[in-house]
Structure 1
Amino acid sequence: MSTEALARLAEERVDHRFKGLPPDADGLTIGELTAQRRNLFTDGFATPVLALSAERLEHNLRLMETYATRHGLAFAPHGKTSMAPQLFHRQLEHGAWGITLAVPHQVRVARAFGIRRVFLANELVDPAALRWVATELAADPSFRFICYADSVRGVELMDAALEGATRPVDVVVELGAGEGARTGVRTEAECLAVADAVAATDTLRLVGVAGYEGEVPQADAERVRAWLTRLVALAVDLEKAGRLGQAEEIVVSAGGSAWFDSVAEVFAGIPELSMPVLKLLRSGAYVSHDDGHYRKVTPFNRVPEEGALEPAFRLWAQVVSRPTPEQAFVNAGKRDAAHDLDLPSAQVVRRDGVERPATGIEVTRLSDQHAWLSTAPGAELEVGDWVGLGLSHPCTSFDKWPLIPVAEADGTVVDYVRTFF
């Protein structure tokens, strides 16, 4: 099913729905346009246009595969970052155990493209979604699905919705990251109550524990490790108390994109238990990385001998106005560029096929369809120039572009990534 579904992506027609693509490509299938290997800069692409670096994307996929293997971690990258089935499958080809998602719609997308293992890093109490999950589990014995539970009430709602299901839904107790954090049980005693509620049902099976260390209040390495140690201790306590007796393996899962070095360190100390332990890392922003928030906080900055991720996105916009020597405007704004964490950064200027650093040029503000540029004395910038912008926060970059060219260093477009938000 996955091969057929991916092949159908290539049969989709290019038209006005996909911004930045060459107008003269309208009516071609994505597969036909890919086969033309057009150049991003000379073959009709219109600004603004977002591109992924083919080389950097491959580098990031390989680096995280190597990292997970080196540290004995299973890897279920968070797919809500990209919502791109082609990237899901590339991640699986690079050793991923499965894909992490956040809401039922995303699971439906993953299943439509043949993803067999899904970790839903969220509570799930919607009856319609639960019944759909039960149908998927019944129809496909190879489908593995795990989701969070953090309350007795939530367990009761899940049990009611799943009445009559032929396979139990696997759940992990979510341990909250602290007072004032997001979802998750706050105390170990409450965790045991949730575990007991799961055990009292026939529709659910408790398989482990999970949480998100990125929500630890005032997070630093010491606080994050302390919370991860609590998570591991909770798994050990549940196993000793017999709460995981129906599981085939114990799932212990954490790992955003800021503290996965701490996850690897603490998970390495998980003691031998009565059944195998699936140490599941969920970092997702690595696939494209970024030029803002994640570039500042990546664990590879703290442990450089592990390697380095590379920003794979570049948004190309064109200078459309130069009203004063200190100011310029390009034709990409909030509709095109991630801006929820950091503003885009001006990296390069391209004119007549020549690329140079964007020295003295800074993005200071975004309007809906414009980026405001401040230009220092001597900054060389003219109307018509292309400006390459680095972006922050991959999660809000992918969602603005339903079809993204993947370009090699010389501009040759070798693929197009379809997203589903």
Structure 2
Amino acid sequence: MGNEALARLAEERVDHRFKGLPPDAGGLTVGELAAQRRNLFTDGFTTPVLALSAERLEHNLALMETYADRHGLAFAPHGKTSMAPQLFQRQIERGAWGVTLAVPHQVRVARAFGVERIFLANELVDASALRWIAGELAADPHFRLVCYVDSVSGVRLMDAALRDAGAGRPLDVVVELAAGEGARTGVRTDEECAAVADAVAATDTLRLVGVAGYEGEVPRADPERVRAWLRRLVALAAAFDEAGRFAGLDEIVVSAGGSAWFDAVADVFAEIPDLSVPVLKLLRSGAYVSHDDGHYRRLTPFNRAPGEGALEPAFRLWTQVVSRPSPGQAFANAGKRDAAYDLDLPVAQVVRRDGAERPATGITVTALSDQHAWLETTGEADLEVGDWLGLGLSHPCTAFDKWQLIPLAEADGTVVDYIRTFF
């Protein structure tokens, strides 16, 4: 990655754009503020403020690195989860093949920070984006982008845009296999897969390098259905190879993997037979980097295989109690603008008062307004106006996108860095 571009993040000035940071830090650079090692709780941070645990982040990065190595998987974590180049860098340093992204804007961010290998887990038919990508491929011989195709019409649009751009290097594509009828994108039948592959072969601007899909879209997903679909994906790769569709390649890409079923991906990819050339078994799980206290915590494959280790929730949203209108109700000053809420409501975890923390016993988040958390309190709750309340969040994908500069804090509250996001 581009270390110069990453270094420039530390030169950005702290100002009103960044929520939760100390008002008296205005005008400092991010690097200068980080060097002060301020404390999240005592050195001027305002509520609400989202913090990322330095220790838990490091734990999660290390755990998935060893998991991929142990199972013989290449790893391209889904960067759209965080859109944080500093985290891309740490993942690549941990052996990641590259990063997975979803739309052209995200590719532009990654390229601005020097990412050289990108898996675009989406169809790409935008002519302007394809012209830009053709320019990137021409300008940097080390840059590789692989993207989905799932229709003959999409292939034709891509070919036309790339020919119009005068593309000198073919763009690598994988046929996306749909996860089933009624699922999201992807080709539904083997016959249609062959037709799309034939359309790719008829162009000079595209190169078929493998097959891919997303098992998280399997209808009524359970271990049996997910593994059955993954075996269909593997069979498609083998059939394409037998038909000579990968002739001339150095490797064949077979890719899947969200954050709920990566154990199934590891199991089935271990069954991939010997093909004409080596197979790049590419896992794309991304939510692991921060994990969560809701959706993914319930579904993580490590729950099914505890001997593999355990991810740790790394986010905590600190909010402050601003109103206590009745013994059974309170309100804190964080809402939909601050907290992920599309899958699960935040979970009250700890109350902080006068430097001491205790469990948030008897406190439940029941709803979110734009800028308020509705709290239901029982007789066990010891909660006063002014208390700080630490909330656990669900679905990290929609937590990162609400915060542009996130304090990276150690367990005692010392902020050691700031993570810049680009959504």
Question: When the two structures are superposed, what TM-score results if normalisation uses the length of structure 1?
Answer: 1.00
Partners of 1:130 and 1:326 in 2: how far apart?
Answer: 56
User: Of 408, 416, 419, which residue of structure 2 is paired with 1:417?
Assistant: 419
Q: How much does 1:248 deviate?
A: 2.0
Q: How much does 1:217 deviate?
A: 0.2
Deviates more, 1:239-248 or 1:95-104: 239-248
Q: In the alignment, which residue of structure 2 is the partner of 1:370?
A: 372
Q: Secondary structure at the match of 1:27?
A: coil
Q: Secondary structure at the match of 1:162?
A: helix
Partners of 2:309 and 2:101 in 1: how far apart?
Answer: 26
Question: When the two structures are superposed, what TM-score results if normalisation uses the length of structure 2?
Answer: 0.99
Q: In the alignment, which residue of structure 1 is the partner of 2:214?
A: 212
Partners of 2:274 and 2:181 in 1: how far apart?
Answer: 31
Partners of 2:2 and 2:359 in 1: how far apart?
Answer: 42
User: Of 317, 320, 323, which residue of structure 1 is paired with 2:322?
Assistant: 320
Aligned ranges 1:163-178 → 2 under 5 Å: 163=163, 164-178=166-180
Q: In the alignment, which residue of structure 2 is the partner of 1:96?
A: 96
Q: In the alignment, which residue of structure 2 is the partner of 1:273?
A: 275
Work out the percentage of aligned pairs sharing the same amino acid.
83
Q: Deviations over 1:202-244 (max 9, x none)?
A: 0000000000000000000000000000000000000110111
Q: Is the 8 A contact 1:206 1:246 kept in 2?
A: no
User: Of 240, 243, 251, which residue of structure 1 is paired with 2:242?
Assistant: 240
Aligned ranges 1:125-140 → 2 under 5 Å: 125-140=125-140
Q: In the alignment, which residue of structure 2 is the partner of 1:359?
A: 361
Q: How much does 1:247 deviate?
A: 2.4
Q: Is the 8 A contact 1:205 1:246 kept in 2?
A: no
Q: In the alignment, which residue of structure 2 is the partner of 1:201?
A: 203
Partners of 1:378 and 1:223 in 2: how far apart?
Answer: 44
Partners of 2:168 and 2:221 in 1: how far apart?
Answer: 42
Partners of 1:53 and 1:378 in 2: how far apart?
Answer: 28
Partners of 2:203 and 2:246 in 1: how far apart?
Answer: 13
Partners of 2:45 and 2:106 in 1: how far apart?
Answer: 30
Partners of 2:33 and 2:330 in 1: how far apart?
Answer: 33
Q: In the alignment, which residue of structure 2 is the partner of 1:398?
A: 400
Structure 1 stretches (4+) deviating beyond 4 angstroms?
A: none
Partners of 1:186 and 1:248 in 2: how far apart?
Answer: 28
Q: In the alignment, which residue of structure 1 is the partner of 2:294?
A: 292
Q: Is the 8 A contact 1:348 1:356 kept in 2?
A: yes
Q: Is the 8 A contact 1:81 1:398 kept in 2?
A: yes
Q: Secondary structure at the match of 1:122?
A: strand
| Runs (5+) with no aligned partner, structure 2 | none
Matching residue's letter, 2:158: M
Q: In the alignment, which residue of structure 2 is the partner of 1:22?
A: 22
Matching residue's letter, 2:105: H
Matching residue's letter, 1:169: L
Q: Deviations over 1:263-313 (max 9, x none)?
A: 000000000111010000000000000000000000000000000000000
Q: How many residues are treated as equivalent by the alignment?
A: 421
Q: In the alignment, which residue of structure 2 is the partner of 1:225?
A: 227
Q: Secondary structure at the match of 2:130?
A: helix
How large is the Cα RMSD of the aligned pairs? 0.5
Q: Secondary structure at the match of 2:52?
A: strand
